[in-house]
Amino acid sequence: MLLYVVLSIVDQAVDPDPVTLDTGDTPDAIAPPAINNRADLELALKGNSISLIDAINSSIVWFERRGFLGKLDLYGVSTADSISANYLEMSEAQLLELAGTGDIGAAQQLAELSLNGDNPDPEAVIEWYRQAASLGSVYAMFRLSELLELFSDPLLADFNKGSLYAMRLEKLLAQEPLIRRDALAWSLTAVLAGGLPAAQNDVATRVQRLSAELGAQGTNRACDKANRLLLDLAAERRSRGGLVFSTEPPELFVSLPTLDDVLPCEQALPPVIDTTGCDVVAVPGLVNPNQKLWHCPPAPL
């Protein structure tokens, strides 16, 4: 039960209630104006010449190919309508078969079953998400960071002592003495692989928290490991005969203003996603200093 409570707290932390875009007509707004859902996005682009439906649909595909198979609030994809809903209906045997063919969604669902099933196994959770990451899932990289931080939480160390789960967790912590550093490394790897589209406030919060805890030396080592992880993942993808990583950005996305807001590394590999051809969309009334709306015109056919 404690595990469920802790996981619920984590879910709430990374998926807060959306704040509707404030266009300047409500001077007493509690929070800075922000673009957090499709209604906000449509309002922000009202009167713009961008082909909104096409841009949204192509952006959805971009995120789904990178493992974001659940709800996508910015683009109006609900949990019920998401790709992840399809995997919930599958048996473990079906998921294993699909995962064997390189299906990202199946690997991620097997990871969640290993976490939330009747026989939770932290090591299996990490292995399945690690496989999804090697298949190109940026979402899996973020989830690895979340879960490694969670597994190292003292609250879980005393969870149902003597149980099989507690023993598995103790074994994992013995094998991964630098698990907090690795949690930071996986967040940084996700940002390097996902570029600006992956630079969100919740990511920055986790990076800042772990970086402050680890100090300058620990943070630098996490940065070094993130660089190695990105190269390792690229090599694994290459060994399967697939594209190493696509540099193409989504057509529409919101992010923190710069990657410097989320990358504390003195020396880091350049982000995979190339946003040099993207434009910042000016939104009247949007004065949130922590967010930018980007449009990346698709390459001509």
DSSP string, 37-91: SHHHHHHHTTT--S-HHHHHHHHHHHHHHTT--S-BGGGTB-TTTSTHHHHHTS-
- In the chain, the number of structural domains is 1
Rounded to 5 degrees, φ, ψ at 280 are -80, 130
Neighbours of 235 (CB within 10 A): 11
pLDDT of residue 165: 76
Q: In this structure, what token pair is assigned to residue 201? A: 């406030």
pLDDT of residue 242: 66
* Residue 298 near residue 265 (C-beta atoms within 8 A): no
Neighbours of 80 (CB within 10 A): 8
* 175 lies in some domain: yes
Cα gap 15→38, rounded to integer Å: 15
Cα gap 56→54, rounded to integer Å: 5
Among 3-7, 155-159, 262-266, 272-276, the minimum mean pLDDT is found in: 3-7
The secondary structure of residue 254, as a DSSP letter, is E
* 225 lies in some domain: yes
pTM, whole model, 2 decimals? 0.86
pLDDT for 94 beyond 80: yes
* Residue 104 near residue 85 (C-beta atoms within 8 A): no
Provide the domain limits for residue 208.
Answer: 34-295
pLDDT of residue 78: 97
The number of angstroms, rounded, from the C-alpha of 228 to the middle of its chain's C-alpha atoms is: 19
Q: In this structure, what token pair is assigned to residue 249? A: 């950005």
* 23 lies in some domain: no
pLDDT of residue 156: 67
* 188 lies in some domain: yes
**Mean pLDDT value across the chain:** 86
Mean pLDDT of 123-131: 96
- In this prediction, residue 160 has a pLDDT band, given cuts at 50, 70 and 90, of low
* 106 lies in some domain: yes
Q: In this structure, what token pair is assigned to residue 161? A: 């002592």
Residue 297, CA distances (Å) to 24, 54, 195, 258, 284 in order: 28, 11, 17, 19, 21
* 2 lies in some domain: no
H and E: helices and strands count for the chain: 12, 3
* 24 lies in some domain: no
Cα gap 201→234, rounded to integer Å: 26
Cα gap 141→185, rounded to integer Å: 9
* 26 lies in some domain: no
- Residue from 289, 298, 295 nearest 41 by CA: 295
Contacts of 250 by beta carbon, 8 Å cutoff, 6+ apart? 58, 59, 62, 63, 197, 296
- In this prediction, residue 154 has a pLDDT band, given cuts at 50, 70 and 90, of confident
- Residue from 129, 135, 120, 133 nearest 148 by CA: 129
